[in-house]
Amino acid sequence: MDLDVFNKHESNVRGYVRSFPKVFERAEGPIIYDQKGAPYIDFFSGAGGLNYGHNQPALTAGMIDYLQNGGIIHGLDMATAAKKRFIVAFQTYILKPRKLSYKMQFTGPTGTNAVEAALKLARLNTGRTGIIAFTHAFHGVSLGSLATTANSWYRKAAGTDLHGTTFLPYDGFVEGLDSIAYFEQILTDPGSGQSLPAAVIVECVQGEGGVNVASDVWLQRLRAVTKKHGIILIVDEIQAGCGRTGEFFSFEQSGIVPDMVTVSKSISASGLPMALLLIAPKLDIWKPGQHNGTFRGNNLAFVSAAVAIETFWKTGVLSKQVHRKSAIIHAALSDIASSYPKLKLQVVGRGMIQGLRCDIDHGFAKRISKAAFSKGLIIETAGSYDEVLKLLPALIIDDKTLQKGLDIVKAAAKKAA
C-alpha cells in the first residue's frame, strides 16, 4: 500500500493524511496531483498557508534565481539583502497605504511562535500577566499560545495545567448576550473577580473555531474598551490575513488599529515557514535577543514573500477579485443550504474563508469532505465538533476551477444528506 511507510514509521499525531489518504507528488496553482497523476482541486490551501496557490510562477522564479546566485538561506536576525527587500516591500505596499505604523519582529518560523512573542511582550509592557481570549479561539499549540486556544481537544494534549487566560464569549456565541458590555462590567466592578489583563487576543474571523465572524461594531467596541483600560489588543491574522478576507488584513474592514498583529501562514506566499509580529513602536521594548530562535531568518521565505507583495499588492486588483469570488462562493453555499431545509444549514464566513455549518447533524460536514475527496476535491472541516465544512480555495483560483470545485461540494452534499 502507498501509505504503509507512513503508517509504520510516522507518529500517530499525523492528522490530515487520515482525511486525504493519498501520496501527493506535485502541484500547480489550485491543483495538487497524487503519485499516479490524479488531480485534486485544492480547497484547503495548506490550511491557509498557500493563498496564492501552489508553485506560483513568479515566486518560484524569484526563489530559483536567488538560489542560483548563492543567496544566503540561513541568516538568524542578521541584516540580509533578502530581508531588506521584504521590509521595504511590506512598508511600501502594505503598511503605508493603510496608514499603519508597526515595527516588525521576525519570530521563529511558525504562527504559534508569533503568538508566544506577542503574549510575552504584552506582559513585559504592562507588568500584568492575565490574557483575555475568546470561545472557539485557536492561536496555536505551544504552551503559551495553547493557553489561549479554547478547544479542549488540543488543551488536553498539553500534559499540564494551562494558566493565565480568561475566556469570554465571542461575538454571537450566546444569542442575545452583549459580550463587550459584559467584558467592561467585569473590568470595572471590583467584585467581579477579574483583574486587569495584560492583553486581549482575538481573531476577526475564527478559522479553526468554525469560521465565525466578528461584526465590525463588536470589534470597534472591543478596541474602545481595551484603549480605555490600557489593555494591549493583539489581532491574530495568521489564517484570516494576507488577503483571505479580501483586504490584506481581516481587521481593515472594521477600521480598528490593533497594538500587535500576528502574521504567518501565507506571509511567505510559497509555503515556506515564516512568521511576523507587528508591534506598535511604543511597545517595542525588547532588549536584544530576549526572544529568539535559530530559524527566525528564513531568507528564501523573505524572497518569496517580497515577490508576492510586489506582484499582488501594488494595486487593488487582487482584493477586487477576492470579493468577486467571495460572492460566487456564498451563492453556491446558499444554494446548497436551501436545498436541505431540514438540516438548517448556515453559510458562515467572509471573503474566501467561508463555510457550511450543520448544528443538527455534526457528521454532515465530515461526510461531505470524504465524498468530495473521492470526487477529486480536498476540503477540510472546522468547529468544536467538525460541524463546519470550511472552504479555503487559493485566492488566485480561476473561475472555471472554482466552479468545478463548488459543483463537487454540491454533489458531495447530496450524497452526505
Residues 218-252: pLDDT tens digits? 999 999 999 999 999 999 999 999 999 999 999 99
Tell me, yes or no, whether 83 lies in a domain: yes
Is residue 272 domain-shared with residue 244, that is, in the same domain? Answer: yes
The answer to whether residue 1 scores a pLDDT higher than 90 is no
pLDDT one-digit tens code per residue, 23-73: 999 999 999 999 999 999 999 999 999 999 999 999 999 999 999 999 999
* pLDDT at res. 2: 84
Q: Are 250 and 48 in contact (CB under 8 A)?
A: no
Q: What are the DSSP E strand ranges found in 293-378?
A: 346-350, 353-357, 377-378
Q: Are 121 and 279 in contact (CB under 8 A)?
A: yes
Is residue 230 domain-shared with residue 334, that is, in the same domain? Answer: no
Tell me, yes or no, whether 23 lies in a domain: no
Is residue 215 domain-shared with residue 326, that is, in the same domain? Answer: no
Is residue 228 domain-shared with residue 245, that is, in the same domain? Answer: yes
Is residue 249 domain-shared with residue 325, that is, in the same domain? Answer: no
Considering its fold, how many domains does the chain have in total?
Answer: 2
Is residue 113 domain-shared with residue 185, that is, in the same domain? Answer: yes
Residue with cell 489561549: 148
Task: Tell me the β-bridge partners of 277.
Answer: 105, 262
Tell me, yes or no, whether 293 lies in a domain: yes
Cα separation, 277 vs 282, whole angstroms: 14
Report the chain's mean pLDDT, rounded to a whole number. Answer: 97
Is residue 64 domain-shared with residue 204, that is, in the same domain? Answer: yes
Is residue 270 domain-shared with residue 224, that is, in the same domain? Answer: yes
Cα separation, 352 vs 307, whole angstroms: 22
Tell me, yes or no, whether 187 lies in a domain: yes
With both helix axes pointing from N to C terminus, report the angle between 364-374 and 399-416 in degrees, rounded to the nearest 10: 120
* pLDDT at res. 271: 95
Is residue 341 domain-shared with residue 263, that is, in the same domain? Answer: no
Q: How far is CA 333 from CA 76, 156, 251, 327, 392, in A?
A: 45, 34, 24, 10, 13
pLDDT one-digit tens code per residue, 131-190: 999 999 999 999 999 999 999 999 999 999 999 999 999 999 999 999 999 999 999 999
Q: What are the DSSP E strand ranges found in 142-214?
A: 165-168, 199-202, 205-206, 212-213
Domain encompassing residue 341: 315-350
Is residue 286 domain-shared with residue 343, that is, in the same domain? Answer: no
Is residue 172 domain-shared with residue 233, that is, in the same domain? Answer: yes
Is residue 131 domain-shared with residue 160, that is, in the same domain? Answer: yes
The answer to whether residue 263 scores a pLDDT higher than 90 is yes
Helix (H) or strand (E) holding 234: strand 232-236
